[in-house]
Amino acid sequence: MINLNKANIGLIKNINTYPKYNIEKMQNTILHFGVGNFHRAHQAFFVHEIINANKDLSIIGINLRSKDTKEILEKQNYLYSLLECSKNRNKIHVINSIKKILYGHEDKKEIRKLISNSFTRIITITITEKGYCYDNLNKCLNYNYEIQNDFEDKNLFTLVGHLSYGLIERFNKNKEELYIISCDNLSNNGKILKTVILDFINNVNKNAASWVNQSVYFPSTMVDCIVPNSKKLANEIKLNYCDEALVICESYRDWYIENKDDYLKTILSHKDIKFVENVSFYEQIKLKMLNASHSAVAYIGLLLDYKYVHEVINNNICYKFINTYLEREVIPTILLEDQFDIQKYKKIILSRFKNKFLNHKLEQIGADGSFKIPIRIIDTYVNRQVKFKYNFTFIIIASWIYFLSGKTIKGNNYSVIDPNKNELMKIISENKNFIGEILKIKKIFDLSESDRIEMQKGVNYFYNKIEKVGLQKVLGEIVKKL
């Protein structure tokens, strides 16, 4: 079997799209932090299509935690395959929109030079919620040990450190405008990014901070595409070549960008990238509907001994539970705009979850729950219609707390990845009323006292019931009452 690289690309058959460009000749640069599977299935795919339409553009990637992707792609001349899977058709794209990847711990000076370079007018980011070092409770930069380390400007750990020092150099060098676009699942992601960057730079160079506040733009965005962290192909799919950097994704893609001028439209000129005056509506429906139900599927599914999303949603009781959670507890809190068909959107979400070709692992979705739950689920609960009981929300939170044990209802093991895992497990092991103590953690459950009391009562009830009769029966009983 042949290996994917530039010498062999002409031998590979049945490719839907391939690079019609020489990436080395491209000068205009998008600098991207976080070259993971999602970026390569989403922004890098959009850029691939833009360059194929004869635009001068390329991506230089930066990874802060690992060199693995850099080393694999280097061997393949930065070519990789994107496999778009749907129930009707699978498409293969060979992509070369990434020119090279830098490693944060080794390439600090080059990263700084690129941030200050005139050819760099856009920076994009996909580093997951925890990478922003944002204190959700106090709405400011979290001065944790990694941020304290980066103030010394030696071996930088964080996106915030790299970006901040790069912006200071741009201020000293040319003071040219710049767009920095967060593509992570954070409500008001642009505002959060601007907050942590300004907080950091104010501690280093107040004049540069003033310039950043005026001349660096942080538009909020909403991105959407289901991209599993897996290279396992469904049995129906065969490739006739070897690609160590293969990415699998669904055929659905959304990218909404908040934009008040024409610059971004000129650079990111693509019929499926949507520029809007206010992205918050699209951001909210995605976080509250797709992301919230994804988290619920993960915690419920793992407890029921499932491994993949499509297995959970094809369980009729689980499907009814998620569908009704969206219908009764989420949709009533959303103020519709632009004649948006929210019922159609709900059906599309549930249909996307059924895509068996993705093999989307529940463990991947369930990771970092203490960062995701406040944004995806608690905000909806706080803005609920108080005349209704939010029993579906209580079951989801009870399932998450049960999930933290790392054991299914039947006692089988799975992995639990969460930055607050040690704190949470200490509470569970040391407190008889551990549910009440967990619900007092403000950075996760920023609730009024009355809301917290009501949630504690509901979560306690369903947690105890799950222990007594099992989760499947609890779900069955609640959907049977509909």
In a shared domain, residues 151 and 170 = yes
pLDDT level of residue 87 (50, 70, 90 thresholds)? confident
The string of pLDDT tens digits covering residues 208-229 is: 999 999 999 999 999 999 999 8
Average pLDDT over every residue of 42-46:
98
Which domain-ending residue is among 234, 257, 277?
Answer: 277
Looking at residue 26, its pLDDT comes to 95
Integer Cα distance of 418 and 130 in angstroms: 10
Q: What is the pLDDT of residues 19-30, one digit of tens each?
A: 999 999 999 999
Report the pLDDT averaged over residues 118-138.
94
Domain boundary among 277, 302, 330: 277
Residue (of 466, 302, 433, 431) closest to 369 by Cα position: 302
The answer, yes or no, to whether residue 272 has pLDDT greater than 70, is yes
111 in the same domain as 222:
yes
Mean pLDDT of 240-250: 94
Same-domain pairing of 287 and 247? no
Residue 226: CATH number of its domain: 3.40.50.720
Residues 59 and 131 in one domain: yes
Q: What is the pLDDT of residues 142-153, one digit of tens each?
A: 999 999 999 999
Same domain for 289 and 267: no
- Per-residue pLDDT, averaged over 90-97, amounts to 95
Phi-psi map region of 11: left, alpha, beta (phi>0 left; psi -120 to 50 alpha): alpha
In the predicted structure, residue 131 carries a pLDDT above the cut 90: yes
Give yes or no for residue 237 having a pLDDT over 80: no
Asked whether 408 and 302 are in contact (CB, 8 A), the reply is yes
Mean pLDDT of 450-470: 97
Whether residue 204 sits in one domain with residue 61: yes
Q: What's the confidence (pLDDT) of residue 230?
A: 78
Average pLDDT, the chain: 95
Look at residue 284 in the predicted model and tell me its pLDDT: 93
Answer whether residue 338 shows pLDDT above 90.
no
Q: Which residue has the higher pLDDT, 137 or 166?
A: 166
Q: In what order do the strands lie in the sheet with 221-224?
A: 221-224, 254-258, 273-276
Residue found under tokens 């070897």: 242
pLDDT in tens, 373-408: 999 999 999 999 777 789 999 999 999 999 999 999
- The yes-or-no verdict on residue 90 having pLDDT over 90 is no
pLDDT tens digit string along 424-458? 999 999 999 999 999 999 999 999 999 999 999 99
Residue with the bigger pLDDT between 260 and 10: it is 10
Length of the chain: 482
d(CA 238, CA 235): 8
What pLDDT score does 235 carry?
67
Q: Which of 368, 469, 451 is nearest to 416 (CA)?
A: 368
Give the pLDDT confidence of 359-380 residue by residue, as tens digits.
Answer: 899 999 999 999 999 999 999 9
Taking each continuous run of H as one helix and of E as one strand, the counts in the chain are 22, 16
Rg (CA), the chain: 23
Domain identity same for 161 and 298: no
The verdict on 442 and 471 lying in the same domain is yes
pLDDT at residue 239, rounded to an integer: 85
Domains identified in the chain, total number: 2
What letter would DSSP give residue 413?
A: B
Tell me, what DSSP letter sits at residue 122? E
Within 8 A by CB and 6+ apart from 383, the residues are 333
Pair (151, 236) in one structural domain? yes
Q: HEC states along the chain?
A: CEECCCCCHHHCCCCCECCCCCHHHCCCEEEEECCCHHHHHCHHHHHHHHHHCCCCCEEEEEECCCCHHHHHHHHCCCCEEEEEECCCCEEEEEECCEEEEEECCCCHHHHHHHHHCCCEEEEEECCCHHHHCEECCCCEECCCHHHHHHHCCCCCCCHHHHHHHHHHHHHHHCCCCEEEEECCCCCCHHHHHHHHHHHHHHCCCHHHHHHHHHHEECCCEEEECCCCCCCCCCCCCCCCEECCCCEEEECCCEEEEECCCCHHHHHCCCCCEEEECCCHHHHHHHHHHHHHHHHHHHHHHHHCCCCEHHHHHCCHHHHHHHHHHHHHHHHHHCCCCCCCCHHHHHHHHHHHHCCCCCCCEHHHHHCCHHHHHHHHHHHHHHCCCCCCCCHHHHHHHHHHHHHCCCECCCCCECCCCCCCHHHHHHHHHHCCCHHHHHCCCCCCCCCCHHHHHHHHHHHHHHHHHHHHHCHHHHHHHHHHCC
* Phi (first) and psi of residue 25, to 5 degrees: -90, -5
- The domain boundary, picked from 277, 296, 317, lies at 277
Contacts of 155 (CB under 8 A, 6+ apart): 105, 108, 149
Which residues does residue 258 pair with via DSSP β-bridges, in sequence order? 276
303 & 260 share domain = no
pLDDT at 465: 97
**Both tokens of residue 97?**
């929109």
In contact, 40 and 95? CB cutoff 8 Å: yes
Residues 302 and 358 placed together within one structural domain of the fold:
yes
pLDDT score of 39 more than 70: yes
Q: Determine the structural domain holding residue 48 and report its residue range.
A: 2-277
Query: Which domain CATH number covers 328?
Result: 1.10.1040.10
Question: Which tokens hold the place of 384?
Answer: 């609920």
Q: Are residues 29 and 66 in the same domain?
A: yes
Q: What percent of the chain has a predicted confidence (pLDDT) above 70?
A: 99
